[in-house]
Chains A and B, each alone.
Chain A
Amino acid sequence: MRLPNPVETIRTIFHPPPTAGVLGVFSHLDATVDAIARLRDAGHTDFTVYSPIPRHEIEDALGQAVSPVRMFTLIGGVAGCAIGAWITLYMSYDWPIVVGGKPIGSIPPYVVIMFEMTVLFGALSTILGIAFNALFAARRLGTVAYDSRFTNDRFGIFVPCEPARQGQVEKLLRAAGAEEVRRA
């Protein structure tokens, strides 16, 4: 057998084959929300909604669960605090040196370090959480149709579905008020 061409493999990773489906472009928020409701009624679950800004109308309509990012923050913060406590105390006792007649390991000054480490690690792990969840682990990122207006002033909904059912979806979206619908 022949080895897979590495260049090919990488391309397929970064440019996966497009997902089949329908893309609706909306110019109005309420229309988008309406469309979401209709889609959910029609039993569609895993469609993607584009919006230039975050709106909780959309979030509510989608009924999403709370983001898991908060766990990252919590764990990061706690870890940071612990690390802060550890380095200060360990490093003090590793080579005990008296300064100003103070105890070798004096907690009050170390609280400052612990606090700063809490914030530092909390923040960094939050970033990780966002990047991990939103940018890399986002479902079907890059495989679904996209329109550059979505970051400007248009809302969009992409409904993945096999060509056979695309007709209904188109109809549904138009009915909801999409100003433009195209197949992908």
Chain B
Amino acid sequence: MDRRRFLKVVGVTSGGAAALSACGIGPEPTEQLIPYLVAPENQVPGTATWYATTCRECAAGCGLHAKVREGRVIKLEGNPESPINGGRLCSRGQAALQGLYDPDRVTEPMARGQSGEWQKLTWDEGIARLAAKIKDARGRGIVFVTGLETGSFGQLVDTWMREIGGRHVTYEPFAFEALREGNRLAFGTSAIPLYDFANAKYIVSFGADFMETWLSPVGYQNGFTRAHAFQAGRDASMARFVYVGPRLSLTGMSADEWIAAAPGTEGLMALAMAHVIASGRLAAVPADAARLRDLLAAHAPGTVADAVGVEARQIERLAREFAASKGGLAVAGGMTAQYPNGAEIVVAVNVLNYVAGQVGKTVRFGPNHALEGAGSFRQMADLVADMNAGRVPLLLVHGANPVHSLPGTFSQALGRVGYKVSFSSYLDETAAASDLVLPDLHPLEQWNDSQPRAGVYALQQPVMQPVLPGTMHTGDVLLRTTGKPGTFRDYVQTRWRELHGRLGRGLAFEDFWTDALQHGGIYRDPPPQAVRLSLELGKSAPGGAKPLLGWRPSPEEPLLVALPSIALHDGRGANKSWLQELPDPVSKITWHAWVEVHPETAAKWQVVSGDVVLLKSPFGAVRAPVWVSPGIRRGVLAVPIGQGHKAYGRYAKDRSFNAFELLGDVPTAYGGRAFTVSVAVARTGDHRRLATIEGDAREQGRGVIEVLPLERAERLKPGQHPFAEHGVPSYAERALEEWAEAQHKKASLGDYAGEHPRWAMAIDLTKCTGCSACVTACYAENNLATVGEELVVRRRQMSWMRIERYYTGGDHGRPVGAVVTPMLCQQCGNAPCEPVCPVYAAYHTPDGLNGQVYNRCVGTRYCANNCPYKVRYFNWHNFAEPGGEWESWPDPLNMLLNPDVTVREKGVMEKCTFCVQRIRAAQNRARLEDRNVQDGEITPACAQACPSEAIVFGDLHDTSSRVAQLARDPRGYHVLAGLNTKPAITYLARVVHGDVAETGPHG
């Protein structure tokens, strides 16, 4: 595929028309049809083209497939060939699209005028100004701050900085210093290994949120569910997962056991487990582990139990199980556990893995994570010091927003910097504080490459021409500033020529290059790297003492944990309405931040959910609405990171509070930043209604979620149906069936006569983690409107896919847990919503869907009242009205609208239809090729995105299809089956280790 030709295309052309015709219900006026000047190859109007590229929303570097219609990229999906994410993609990755079409992007170069106002510049002026500034700052401490750049761009910056005597600081707010330092202390290498969840038999996470922001969440979640899924007949069928941490995070919700150890003592617990294993010789303990004797001796379960707040017996049990599983994996180093002694905890966990002989098995050095190359928080602190000392005449910032993540210090220091240049595409806090803004292209418009993991050479290609002609790739800007020849694309290619030399495998470079473009990069398995316990480790533990008990939170003040938001990450996602409106998987709160409080603590303070409290730390104070949750340890508070922007755009600005303001800016011993701080709490007397989608935190035994203990699940034989409705005598059963049959006959007329597929879905609750990637996928695929905070407060969110999170236990001393289930239209066979519609807008299609004909709907909303699953959503306002108060797609966001799906008008009911547009597309394709639709050919957006592959779609009437087999699974059940709605969605009961987690009083 020849990119140069594609980029020569003049005008987005009838793509614009397609977008128009997708907007609003009702015929459009006559519009212009502007033909291409040159028809681009592999672009068929009305048919999507896919381009492979790489996601740059976080350091994981997942592979992308970008869906392009008439020159506009309209959806992002995972690249199945990428070893990082294997075709899956998280919400953040999918929302990159909204970053591309962000209505608040900087359209052209700007510079501060005398009176501080912005002046538009031409690129020549801008580049000239930059060159001039560099000329007189040359050699006097130019600093270039970028995000983690492991590819050509990073290299370009490095070499350039070397030339002009500057320095290059890569800044990631979540740089995992503790993890790197911990590995260095334990193994002498600060590399971040590959954690092989998929082959683990027993997983213990010490505060590592590997489903949210920890290293490579999509890949790790996928691996985790492979290990943790229940599969009848599989030996040692289901790995056990224990989560140790102060807060029941999204990751913790999937755990079979949640242990809220005292914050900071996770390390002790790990060592105690290591102690048990080593002393009991429960595993093939490596010889050199003997050096740890003193260290472990000091951490017998009995000694640490009180400190940790966990009974010694429990620690011993865990240790035995961990060792016995012969596939244990312990992970640590998440932000929520990044205490001042974070590194020590990682060391302890490394010791546990090592003692259990898992290093090299489930913990594999070699395919190391790119974050190893990220700068540390200490470097940032040094930079701030230099800036304050006036040693930084020129500061260049790209792909980082330190003013937001380091409020206070950095912004103050900025004042002492001679000249500040930002290459940000958005006017974020840092860009707003700079003197010159040279807007970069969005990663989806860029040439670039990266190495998210050793052996993975990921390539980025522009999947469409720049949305804003006034923006320029920073790489090109640098090349032009330095007067180097060629474009950045050539620069990338020269690097790849060198790569071709090493990995070419005899291919001609052009083929090698094209191959890489088509597959999104080159994927190789690097050689495994053997590690041994570092010699320091034994020494660093003078026997007897408790070296790893370096830090304990102050007992009187509550400890606050700042947690990375799965949606907003460090705040970079805050200007994307999809991510703002995505309910947090745990709190189900949208559009604003909150502070999590344990019920008992709340009772003590006499606050309820929604009460606004003042949180004061030594570093700052914020006002935060309380959310009372059983999923947090007593006396611990948690606030999400990412909100509270002072700039950055319409969706992010002045929204809630910035958790970074509470955190310290002094580097910890391991050169990182502590994400915990002791705070003082004061009631303000204010109250607000939380913008949550949660109605009731308890399932109340309504049979929405069924849970099976593993022992029972394993004993289930095919054909058994433990969840089938009881109480109907067999003769009545027969009579009912005959009656239903007669009804069906009377309904098989016209289009309904003959054979039809019955589209159906199976959702495995053992796999579903609640990560909500499917929700964003649905927003992207089906043109769902985002409604904004005020309307969510009124419960008017439009999300067709609702992830329900119910807490379990917590009363009568039962352990607190959580169960999640995706709730979407069940496409009932006997749908209550259909007969009540006076105009047949809701009706049953021959292939078993609940059709919803938007243009026929008059909006009586009777269907929504009568839907027991409450999965119908109403357009209360006109969300597509340009410039309207509730506009959801301000230009150019409307360019991401899917032309295959009608944009609904005000006053119309809408709902999930199993992505009927994809079904029809597949049927059209099959018809053209004179064949039937194959099983697995149709994948709804939610199933496609699901990182844990929990959703399976297909034809129920095709008995050989995967969904039909799963529908017969003994674990299968229908939600509210007692209503005889005959849903098309079969849920597979969640299997848990140990006894059933009560889902409610009647459960």
Do A and B touch (CB < 8 Å)? yes
Chain A residues near B (Cβ < 8 Å): 93, 95-106
Q: Could you jot down 29 A-B contacts, CB within 8 Å?
A: A93-B749, A96-B750, A96-B752, A97-B840, A97-B843, A97-B844, A98-B747, A98-B752, A98-B843, A98-B844, A99-B834, A99-B835, A99-B837, A99-B840, A99-B842, A99-B843, A99-B844, A100-B832, A100-B834, A101-B740, A101-B829, A101-B831, A101-B844, A102-B747, A103-B743, A103-B746, A104-B747, A104-B749, A106-B746
Residues from chain A with Cβ under 8 Å of B740 in the complex: 101
Residues from chain A with Cβ under 8 Å of B750 in the complex: 95-96
User: Of A101, A105, A106, which is within 8 A of B830 by CB?
Assistant: A101
* Interface range on chain B (Cβ under 8 Å from partner): 20 to 34
Given A96-B750, A96-B751, A96-B752; A101-B982 close (CB under 8 Å): yes
Asked if B744 lies at the interface with its beta carbon under 8 angstroms from chain A, I say: yes
Pair B749/A100 contact, Cβ less than 8 Å: no
Closest to A103 in B: B746
Residues from chain B with Cβ under 8 Å of A99 in the complex: 831, 834-835, 837, 840, 842-844
Pair A102/B835 contact, Cβ less than 8 Å: yes
Q: State in angstroms the CA–CA spacing of A102 and B751 once bound together.
A: 15
Q: State in angstroms the CA–CA spacing of A100 and B740 once bound together.
A: 12
Q: State in angstroms the CA–CA spacing of A103 and B747 once bound together.
A: 4
Residues from chain B with Cβ under 8 Å of A98 in the complex: 747, 752, 834, 843-844
Q: State in angstroms the CA–CA spacing of A22 and B843 once bound together.
A: 73
- The smallest C-beta distance from B394 to any residue of chain A, in angstroms, reads 70
Q: State in angstroms the CA–CA spacing of A105 and B746 once bound together.
A: 8
Residues from chain B with Cβ under 8 Å of A106 in the complex: 746
Interface centre among A96, A98, A99 (most CB of B within 10 A): A98
Pair A101/B832 contact, Cβ less than 8 Å: no
- The smallest C-beta distance from B617 to any residue of chain A, in angstroms, reads 58
Pair B840/A101 contact, Cβ less than 8 Å: no
- The smallest C-beta distance from B438 to any residue of chain A, in angstroms, reads 59
- The smallest C-beta distance from A175 to any residue of chain B, in angstroms, reads 69
Residues from chain A with Cβ under 8 Å of B844 in the complex: 97-101
Q: State in angstroms the CA–CA spacing of A101 and B829 once bound together.
A: 6
Pair B743/A102 contact, Cβ less than 8 Å: yes
Interface centre among B750, B832, B982 (most CB of A within 10 A): B750
Question: Contact string, B748-775, partner A, CB cutoff 8 A, digits 1/0?
Answer: 0111100000000000000000000000
Residues from chain B with Cβ under 8 Å of A105 in the complex: 746
User: Of A95, A97, A104, which is within 8 A of B746 by CB?
Assistant: A104
Nearest 5 CB-CB pairings of A with B: A103-B746, A99-B834, A100-B835, A101-B830, A96-B750
Q: How many pairs, one residue from A and one from B, have CB atoms within 8 Å of each other in the complex?
A: 48
Given A96-B749, A96-B751; A101-B743 close (CB under 8 Å): yes
| Beyond A97-B844, A99-B834, A99-B837, 9 additional pairs, beta carbon < 8 A | A98-B752, A99-B831, A99-B835, A99-B844, A100-B830, A100-B834, A103-B743, A104-B746, A104-B747
Residues from chain B with Cβ under 8 Å of A96 in the complex: 749-752
Closest to B831 in A: A100
Q: State in angstroms the CA–CA spacing of A101 and B736 once bound together.
A: 14
Closest to A93 in B: B749
Q: State in angstroms the CA–CA spacing of A97 and B751 once bound together.
A: 8
* Interface positions of B from 439 to 463, Cβ below 8 Å from A: none
Residues from chain B with Cβ under 8 Å of A95 in the complex: 750
* Interface positions of B from 808 to 842, Cβ below 8 Å from A: 829-832, 834-835, 837, 840, 842
Question: Contact string, B835-859, partner A, CB cutoff 8 A, digits 1/0?
Answer: 1010010111000000000000000
Closest to A105 in B: B746
Main secondary structure of the interface of A (DSSP, over half): loop
- The smallest C-beta distance from A89 to any residue of chain B, in angstroms, reads 13
Q: State in angstroms the CA–CA spacing of A107 and B994 once bound together.
A: 54
Q: State in angstroms the CA–CA spacing of A105 and B840 once bound together.
A: 14
- The smallest C-beta distance from A2 to any residue of chain B, in angstroms, reads 61
Interface centre among A99, A100, A102, A103 (most CB of B within 10 A): A100
Residues from chain A with Cβ under 8 Å of B830 in the complex: 100-101
Closest to B832 in A: A100
- The smallest C-beta distance from A93 to any residue of chain B, in angstroms, reads 8
Q: State in angstroms the CA–CA spacing of A95 and B744 once bound together.
A: 17
- The smallest C-beta distance from B579 to any residue of chain A, in angstroms, reads 38
Q: State in angstroms the CA–CA spacing of A99 and B746 once bound together.
A: 12
Pair A101/B744 contact, Cβ less than 8 Å: yes
Residues from chain B with Cβ under 8 Å of A101 in the complex: 740, 743-744, 747, 829-831, 844, 982
Residues from chain A with Cβ under 8 Å of B749 in the complex: 93, 96, 104
Residues from chain B with Cβ under 8 Å of A100 in the complex: 830-832, 834-835, 844
Closest to A106 in B: B746
Residues from chain B with Cβ under 8 Å of A97 in the complex: 840, 843-844
- The smallest C-beta distance from B216 to any residue of chain A, in angstroms, reads 46
Q: State in angstroms the CA–CA spacing of A104 and B829 once bound together.
A: 15
Q: State in angstroms the CA–CA spacing of A99 and B95 once bound together.
A: 37
Residues from chain B with Cβ under 8 Å of A103 in the complex: 743, 746-747
Q: State in angstroms the CA–CA spacing of A99 and B751 once bound together.
A: 13
Question: Contact string, B730-747, partner A, CB cutoff 8 A, digits 1/0?
Answer: 000000000010011011
Residues from chain A with Cβ under 8 Å of B747 in the complex: 98, 101-104
Q: State in angstroms the CA–CA spacing of A93 and B752 once bound together.
A: 12
Residues from chain A with Cβ under 8 Å of B843 in the complex: 97-99
Closest to A104 in B: B749
Q: State in angstroms the CA–CA spacing of A99 and B837 once bound together.
A: 9
- The smallest C-beta distance from A165 to any residue of chain B, in angstroms, reads 68
Q: State in angstroms the CA–CA spacing of A13 and B747 once bound together.
A: 60
Q: State in angstroms the CA–CA spacing of A142 and B855 once bound together.
A: 58
Closest to A109 in B: B835
Residues from chain A with Cβ under 8 Å of B834 in the complex: 98-100
Closest to B752 in A: A98
Q: State in angstroms the CA–CA spacing of A93 and B835 once bound together.
A: 16
- The smallest C-beta distance from B784 to any residue of chain A, in angstroms, reads 25
Q: State in angstroms the CA–CA spacing of A101 and B830 once bound together.
A: 5
- The smallest C-beta distance from A94 to any residue of chain B, in angstroms, reads 10
Residues from chain B with Cβ under 8 Å of A93 in the complex: 749
Residues from chain A with Cβ under 8 Å of B831 in the complex: 99-101
- The smallest C-beta distance from A142 to any residue of chain B, in angstroms, reads 49
Residues from chain B with Cβ under 8 Å of A104 in the complex: 746-747, 749
Q: State in angstroms the CA–CA spacing of A57 and B844 once bound together.
A: 65
Q: State in angstroms the CA–CA spacing of A83 and B747 once bound together.
A: 23
- The smallest C-beta distance from A149 to any residue of chain B, in angstroms, reads 55
Question: Contact string, B487-519, partner A, CB cutoff 8 A, digits 1/0?
Answer: 000000000000000000000000000000000
Residues from chain A with Cβ under 8 Å of B743 in the complex: 101-103
Q: State in angstroms the CA–CA spacing of A96 and B747 once bound together.
A: 8
- The smallest C-beta distance from B807 to any residue of chain A, in angstroms, reads 35
Q: State in angstroms the CA–CA spacing of A97 and B831 once bound together.
A: 13
- The smallest C-beta distance from A22 to any residue of chain B, in angstroms, reads 63
Q: State in angstroms the CA–CA spacing of A144 and B840 once bound together.
A: 60
- The smallest C-beta distance from A108 to any residue of chain B, in angstroms, reads 12
- The smallest C-beta distance from B733 to any residue of chain A, in angstroms, reads 17
Closest to B830 in A: A101
Closest to B844 in A: A98
Interface centre among A96, A101, A103, A105 (most CB of B within 10 A): A101
- The smallest C-beta distance from A97 to any residue of chain B, in angstroms, reads 5
* Interface positions of B from 36 to 75, Cβ below 8 Å from A: none
Q: State in angstroms the CA–CA spacing of A102 and B750 once bound together.
A: 15
- The smallest C-beta distance from B838 to any residue of chain A, in angstroms, reads 11
- The smallest C-beta distance from A147 to any residue of chain B, in angstroms, reads 56
Q: State in angstroms the CA–CA spacing of A154 and B608 once bound together.
A: 80
Interface centre among A96, A99, A106 (most CB of B within 10 A): A99
Q: State in angstroms the CA–CA spacing of A57 and B879 once bound together.
A: 73
- The smallest C-beta distance from A110 to any residue of chain B, in angstroms, reads 13
- The smallest C-beta distance from A91 to any residue of chain B, in angstroms, reads 11
- The smallest C-beta distance from A36 to any residue of chain B, in angstroms, reads 57
Q: State in angstroms the CA–CA spacing of A104 and B751 once bound together.
A: 12
Q: State in angstroms the CA–CA spacing of A96 and B831 once bound together.
A: 17
Q: State in angstroms the CA–CA spacing of A28 and B506 once bound together.
A: 127
Q: State in angstroms the CA–CA spacing of A99 and B863 once bound together.
A: 12
Q: State in angstroms the CA–CA spacing of A97 and B746 once bound together.
A: 11
- The smallest C-beta distance from B909 to any residue of chain A, in angstroms, reads 15
- The smallest C-beta distance from B757 to any residue of chain A, in angstroms, reads 15
